[in-house]
Amino acid sequence: MSDGFENTEGVRLQKVLANAGVASRRVAEQLIVEGRVRVNGVVVTELGSRIDPDNDLVDVDGTAVQLDQSKRYVMLNKPRGIVSSMKDDRGRPDLRRYTKEWTERLYNVGRLDADTSGLLVLTNDGELAHVLAHPSFGVTKVYIAKVEGRVTPQTIQRLTKGVDLEDGPIAADKARLLSTSDAEGGSLVELTLHSGRNRIVRRMMAEVGHPVVELVRRQFGPLHLGTLPVGRARELTKVERGALLTLARRDSGATDTPSRQATDETSPGDQETR
């Protein structure tokens, strides 16, 4: 695409927006004229502008637009007892049973250990998978941990201040006590982390004297598990896809590079961090 967006071989921007489900072509034209549409980070206001949907990145009001309809973005509420792999070499129950609805070859973004349930993203978008899974990009995850014992405010403060583990110090981005139970002698704690270290939540809670009994990931970046039942998967909504793509493009610094097709090498999982 040329700097002036005059690519006669491309597709008119308003048609691209309409095909992507952003708005009708007439409304899309209005969005362009109002300066609310950017192509590769540059505001475009000319209605005759043409782009290459296969290579150009478009956003409206700062939210990324999915142009490649071959990409799939799926949320799974992973049950306990399932390993975060599309094929487990030890024969344990894996994720394949939850991807039969889609013909595309999906991969998990990061991992949840077998004893942890909750939100797992499946996709065939390798570029997005790399950004979301790699600890260096700092994508936050929120966990609810049922732990042994009565957690005190001092313990919560210690979690956010930092604890020393065998592989180095670690601090929660946020931590709060949700409830305690005199009858069961346990507590519910919410932890927000961006670390990708191995079983980090369990190790942190054990270090402060409250071993984890049950662990659920409720949030991954902008995605919330909501009411999705355990063992169910669904495609992300348009709003969720936009939020996820916006995060991935921002953190990767992408402005004019198309997403790669996912492969085993381009969609690395983080460690089994929970």
Nearest to 202 by CA among 268, 265, 145: 145
Nearest to 122 by CA among 91, 92, 101, 143: 101
Catalytic residue check, 54: no
Is the separation of the CB atoms in 128 and 248 below 8 Å? yes
Residue 116: CA count within 13 A, CB half-sphere? 25
Quote the strand ranges of the chain, DSSP E: 11-12, 37-39, 42-43, 50-51, 58-60, 63-64, 73-78, 107-109, 117-123, 141-148, 163-165, 168-170, 174-181, 186-193, 212-220, 223-224, 233-235
- Spatial separation of the C-alpha atoms in residues 270 and 116, rounded to whole Å: 15
State the catalytic residue, choosing from 113, 115, 173, 251: 113
The angle, 0 to 180 degrees and rounded to 10, between the axes of the packed helices 126-133 and 238-252 is 70
Is the separation of the CB atoms in 43 and 59 below 8 Å? no
Backbone φ and ψ of 205, nearest 5°: -70, -35
Rg (CA), the chain: 21
Annotated catalytic residues are 113
